[in-house]
Amino acid sequence: MELARTSSATRQTVEQRAATTAQAEARLASAVARREEAAARLAQTRIVAPADGVVSRRSALLGSVTSAGQEMLRLVRDGRLELDARVPELELASLRPGQSVRVVHGDRVVMAELRAIAPTVSAETRLGIAHVALPHDAGLRPGMFARAEILPGDAPGLTVPQAAVLFREGRPAVFVLQGERVALRPVSTARRQDGVVEVTSGLAEGERVVVSGAGFLSDGDRVRVAEGR
């Protein structure tokens, strides 16, 4: 405006130059916005792992479009492996995190630890999942199958031979000897190891149970105890 007052330039020229400056500033702001948008889009193309590890499986391919919640990569976090052991629902209550677990894969035996127990049970199989944390030197790989033996603690308990435990109406039970007859007794079981089963309720210490041929008996049947038994 000073140039216009001193007649060094016309008002029209000043206004044109001001408009050109405003247009340049608008183009600069638009360019900055496009740059920020491009940077945001570029950031969305980067997949950042939450921790160090090894990619065990890749589901997404280069250039593919994924939806929210779709698995793209499977990561073995910090090189740790876990065994998902299937456990009958009636035995889940006796398990506790921290219990020792013997994992057998062929001739290899690995000592591991029970990390956690899944909160749900499969409605089809009636099996729950016990997550067993394997040591780094286990020598096992994802996808392998192994057998897990969850070892009991040192707490004392009442046990019976595994052959004495039957399943009637979906519940464990034993035949208790009462004189010359047997009575079917529902029981609650817990840990199993080396051919014996822990009984947590339904049976008192000292009661005699049928082991041989228990599956052929009915409640109230008369039996004869073999000598030496």
Pick from 96, 155, 152, 108: which is nearest to 134 by CA?
108
How far apart CA 70 and CA 86 sit, in angstroms, is: 26
Tell me: the pLDDT tens digits for 103-162? Answer: 999 988 999 999 999 999 998 999 999 999 998 888 888 888 999 888 876 556 788 999
* Phi, psi angle pair for 12, to nearest 5°: -65, -40
**Given this model, what pLDDT does residue 9 score?**
59
Pick from 146, 114, 148: which is nearest to 131 by CA?
114
* Residue pair 198/158 in contact by the 8 Å Cβ criterion: yes
The sign one gets for the Cα dihedral 47, 50, 51, 55 is negative
**Given this model, what pLDDT does residue 5 score?**
57
Pick from 125, 217, 119: which is nearest to 176 by CA?
217
**Given this model, what pLDDT does residue 50 score?**
76
**Given this model, what pLDDT does residue 177 score?**
92
Q: Which CATH architecture has domain 158-216?
A: Beta Barrel (2.40)
**Beta-ladder partners of 131:** 84, 116
- CATH 2.60.120.380 at 80-150, yes or no: no
pLDDT at 75 over 80: no
